A and B are shown apart, each in its own frame.
Chain A
Amino acid sequence: MTRVVEAGAAKTAAPASQQHRRLPRLRSEQIVGLLFLLPALVYVTALYAYPIVFNVVMSLEHYTLKTFVTGEAPFVGLDNFDHLVNHPEFWPAVTNTVWFVVGSLFFQFTLGLAIAIFYQHKFPLNGILRALILIPWLAPVLVSGAIWVRLLDQDYGVVNFAIHSLGYSGQISWLTDPNLSLISVLIANIWIGIPFNMVILYGGLQAIPRVLYEAASIDGANAWQRFRYITWPLLRPVSTVVLLLGLVYTLKVFDVIMSITRGGPADTSQILNTWAYSLAFTNGFNFGLGAAAGDILLVIVLGFGLLYLRYAYRELRETTT
């Protein structure tokens, strides 16, 4: 986690920064520094600030495919938002987003934590196995999604085969049943997210001093008590960071849903992000409407992003100023 590394870097940087303070601050040195920062500043302005601001502007305009021809995008105030909130697919998309996020976070975190705790034990091949588990996380997300199209196939998929082997004989149409489509993309997303949670939580667990567990064992604490009174409280900072980051990234999920269901059938697996895309690029090319949906998502994401920054970068701020 950023936190861990920043903390480590801060430790080594501390004496150096004290020495730095003794040097005279030259004006020319600051200009040189600015020159090195210049590419990044231009970059941030052009590729982050501009698109975000322009997205907000678009959401206040009647911006459609015609705009590209005529160049006209009449200002319509909050019309797009009004239209959006009254759209029959708006609330379903919001509800889907909530379920998708809650389900993803809960299962990614608990399963990731369970696996991380398991791999705390030292045994042969431990390191290699832990590295292998990361592959699903480093693979292109779209590909990971595409795999699940096969796995969840109604007639020839392994998942249904496994369920049939357990004795259930009905046909489960994971991808075409409107009641199951969201669960299908959720399953795939959980699978993709477990390695990330596992790796970060593993790092957090490693940082807990062994002595505490040994002392607790001597005092007669059982495994559950050791987890409840040592692991859980001491892991809390790392857990918070993982969950906040996971929240932000889950709200942004796009590839998984696009590769498995494309938001369908009948928009039943649409979350805000994919729905915004469909409003702008597949159904009617209403870029203003899509931008409005994007705005809503942006506000939520940046809100939680700020929360994350406040939490994770408390130490960073202390070391940079």
Chain B
Amino acid sequence: MSDSLTIKRRPQHATSLRSRLRAFGWTAAGILIAAFMLFPLYWIVNLSFMHQTDILQSPPPFIPPHPTLDAYAAALSTAGGYIQSSFIYGVGTVVVTMLVAAPAAYALTTFRARIGSFLLFALILAQMAPGFVVANSLYSAFNSLGLLNTYQAVILADSTIAVPFAVIIMRAFMAGIPRELAEAAKVDGAGPLRIFWSIYLPLSRTALITAGLFSFLFGWGDFLFALILNNNPDHTPITVGIYRFIGAYSVEWPSVMATAVIAVIPATILLSFAQRYVAAGITAGAVKE
């Protein structure tokens, strides 16, 4: 932007060296800030490669004195089922969210019914309701439906975090699709379902992927709904697993930390490989507890 313009206007060698040094200073400070913010994450990675005896040391070692993968082996054997359950919750949340949100977003952009704007307001407001209120009611509702302790129960509850977010981001995206495309297809005899499927869905790929990725993270990272609506040890997700580990009388810290590292992996992958979708998601109305 204008900064680069000013630099271009001054070709002298001395100035460019000075500006390069200054940029270096900024980068160093920037790294320091990021390092400070990321230190807790570094810390779990650090502890996850240690033995219990190394963790219970004062001062705590800043790098593993006797690096080991024992904790990961232990985590995979005790928390393997948790990881699988979290994955199922994540994928299930994506599926439910897409089925509900994509048609709704299409209807909101294409058919201007009064009930549409009402729905949008209801979604945004409802998503703000405390998770406990929703879970407290769903507990007895799912109990009478015989759904407690099933994957479906937690997935349905998890999707309540994701659906409003998905509708908002898809709607914003679909509103930018030129109406001429739909009109042309209509002239060629395409019905609304066809227009939705062959024009709107493919063209809003970015929004779909963003909504999908975040829905997965919501399902993967959910704690409250799984804690309240599931009591089946086989369906326990990684979050509730870690919660139970920490609450135990003697905590096997290395494997808890290794499990925590595994739990953070999806978010890290998302940030490394799908950064532009993350950016799209955040700007579209960051919905997280």
| Partner pick for B136 among A126, A290, A302, A313, CB 8 A cutoff | A290
Query: How many chain A residues have a CB neighbour from B under 8 Å?
Result: 116
B104 and A39 form a contact (CB under 8 A)? yes
B40 and A259 form a contact (CB under 8 A)? no
- Assembled-state Cα–Cα distance A76/B128 (Å): 28
Question: Who on chain A is nearest to B245 by CB?
Answer: A146
- Assembled-state Cα–Cα distance A121/B106 (Å): 40
Asked if B203 CB lies within 8 Å of chain A CBs, one says no
- Assembled-state Cα–Cα distance A214/B5 (Å): 13
- Assembled-state Cα–Cα distance A63/B137 (Å): 11
Asked if A129 CB lies within 8 Å of chain B CBs, one says yes
Q: Mark B220-254, 1 if CB is under 8 A from A, else 0.
A: 11111001100000000011001100110000010
Asked if A254 CB lies within 8 Å of chain B CBs, one says yes
Asked if B14 CB lies within 8 Å of chain A CBs, one says no
- Assembled-state Cα–Cα distance A194/B116 (Å): 34
Contacts of B239-289 to chain A: CB distance below 8 A: 239, 242-243, 246-247, 253, 256-257, 260, 263-264, 267-268, 270-271, 275, 278, 282-286, 288-289
Query: How many chain B residues have a CB neighbour from A under 8 Å?
Result: 113
A150 and B136 form a contact (CB under 8 A)? no
Asked if B187 CB lies within 8 Å of chain A CBs, one says no
Question: Who on chain B is nearest to A115 by CB?
Answer: B33
A151 and B286 form a contact (CB under 8 A)? no
Q: Mark B85-126, 1 if CB is under 8 A from A, else 0.
A: 000000000000001110110111111110111011111111
B140 and A142 form a contact (CB under 8 A)? no
| Partner pick for A203 among B60, B264, B283, CB 8 A cutoff | B283
Question: Who on chain B is nearest to A274 by CB?
Answer: B132
Residue in B30, B56, B120 with the greatest tally of chain A CB atoms within 10 Å: B30
Asked if B176 CB lies within 8 Å of chain A CBs, one says yes
Question: Who on chain B is nearest to A248 by CB?
Answer: B128
Q: In the assembled complex, which residues on chain B have CB atoms less than 8 Å from the CB atom of A297?
A: 130, 132-133
| 19 extra A-B contacts, CB within 8 A, seeds A1-B285, A121-B26, A320-B117 | A5-B172, A33-B110, A37-B119, A43-B100, A49-B126, A126-B30, A132-B37, A133-B38, A142-B239, A157-B60, A191-B40, A203-B283, A251-B130, A255-B289, A259-B246, A273-B130, A298-B133, A313-B121, A316-B120
